[in-house]
Structure 1
């Protein structure tokens, strides 16, 4: 690569049930680093939809956590940028790890499927990369966020693994879903420079398989910078 690509990594908090999937996020940063890219973690400065106890899997009544503050648990203290200060023009690519926070904090896909809303700031940031013909990598449930952001504007090909319900929802949004058999797979939509991989859409996926899919996704994103 002639230059060092600068990649925006959009996080949704910390914790797979109410924020970013920690393994996916760390593996994304590792893959970017191994390929010689620089990166900036980014998250909205806003409350999470709710807080989930990761021992019981149940929501914690009355608890509140901030998406940006939680994302800094992954990015390290002070190293996650407030989305309000982020500009797509400053980056060569966007990569989005998954986790339920993507479908709860960035949008309401976890609750409303194809009828979901997207945070306006998140939608504008994601769309700006497509409008600028910059590559986007979307991991796990993050392709659903892409489908919502592009709905009514573009029709892209993507994967959410083999989940029939999610596939039907993104098809309803005007996108093309391709089933994939494991976390190792990627789907490349060359026309939109969109690369997707299912990761923990397969709940029982081996960590090594999740790594393979994420590394392949990141590699393809960087090839298009």
Structure 2
């Protein structure tokens, strides 16, 4: 059975992991007959948002603790991730990828990446594991590796940043997957486009299926 490490970044699109994308990723891995383990960095969120009003609130929340809501408690600190134990590394999106896993949402092209996330991606890449990313998360992979063909959909500004990092951007539509077999990187746009939850399911399923195919 192939094993996926899925890295999430909190709970809720505005300040953490996008819940639909995270759940659809888990569902797609399960439907493909594979195993998954969830991980998240043990750190404070950059910001906390009231998802009913859309306003930032003055409180502190921990990324790992919030991520445990999606994981139903079955989650590990990202510091415990070891690339040798898994066949694939997968990142759902949400603003958490751009605020907690990295600072892209605050700093744009001058972004920095969380050290544990950087280690995980570099270790997975060096061991020739399959890497997947959804929504805005491909920006993080592009910044770390500085190579590969990725997609975030069709946003020109974000695509330009990806190319400035040394990677290449491929425009894509709902449910489509950018496939980079040379670097074993697979990406899909999800909510970077005006998608429905059905589109997220299709995109996650297509992404995971392509990742599994690359392992065979």
| CA–CA distance in structure 1, aligned partners of residues 210 and 84 of structure 2 | 20
Alignment of 1:37-52 (within 5 A): 37-52=34-49
- TM-superposed CA distance for 1:41, in Å, is 0.1
Q: Is the Cα contact below 8 Å between 2:5 and 2:88 reproduced in 1?
A: yes
Which stretches in structure 2 are left out of the alignment for 5+ residues? none
Give 1:179's aligned residue.
Answer: 171
Which stretches in structure 1 are left out of the alignment for 5+ residues? none
- C-alpha root-mean-square deviation of aligned residues, in Å? 0.9
2:23 to 22, 26, 29: 26
Deviations 1:102-154 (A, max 9, x none): 00001001112221000111101111111111111110011001011113xxx
| CA–CA distance in structure 1, aligned partners of residues 81 and 183 of structure 2 | 22
* 1:222 and 2:205 are equivalent in the alignment: no
* 1:161 and 2:156 are equivalent in the alignment: no
| CA–CA distance in structure 2, aligned partners of residues 145 and 183 of structure 1 | 20
TM-score scaled to structure 1, two decimals?
0.93
Give 1:69's aligned residue.
Answer: 65
1:101 to 73, 91, 96: 96
Give 2:52's aligned residue.
Answer: 55
Alignment of 1:92-171 (within 5 A): 92-151=87-146, 155-171=147-163
Deviations 1:147-205 (A, max 9, x none): 11113xxx21000100111011111111101111x221111001011110000001x31
What is the aligned length? Answer: 215
| CA–CA distance in structure 2, aligned partners of residues 212 and 156 of structure 1 | 23
| CA–CA distance in structure 2, aligned partners of residues 114 and 123 of structure 1 | 16
Q: Which runs of 4+ in 1 moved over 6 A?
A: none
Give 1:198's aligned residue.
Answer: 189
